[in-house]
Amino acid sequence: MTESTLQNESNSTIGSPAEAGEGTAGRTRLAGLYDRYQEHTLTTPFEVVGFWSAIALPFLYVPLLFNGISSQGELLTFVGLLALNFAALLAGHSHKQD
């Protein structure tokens, strides 16, 4: 193989340097937004509510699972509770980590 063929093969599997730069820039921007979120004093109440909601919400699953999910409304309620619990986990994951 020639050197240009090797270079083309490596670029096709890894991607171009411009694509790698875009991914790095996106991660850098996301990290910057996360740092700003962590430094903001108004986020503390959201962390507290998210943390305790993530603890309390699974208790609401018990009646649904005990009685069985028999209707579409109950299924939507269960999926909604799962989504809400996931959001609460994301919001409260850094509560009292100091």
Q: Is the pTM of this model over 0.75?
A: no
pLDDT digits (tens, 9 = 90+) for 14-67: 555 455 556 687 788 888 777 766 666 666 777 888 888 899 999 988 888 899
CA distance 63 to 7: 60
CA angle 23, 37, 33 (to 5 degrees): 20
Q: Which residue has the higher pLDDT, 81 or 94?
A: 81
Q: How many CB atoms lie within 10 A of CB 68?
A: 8
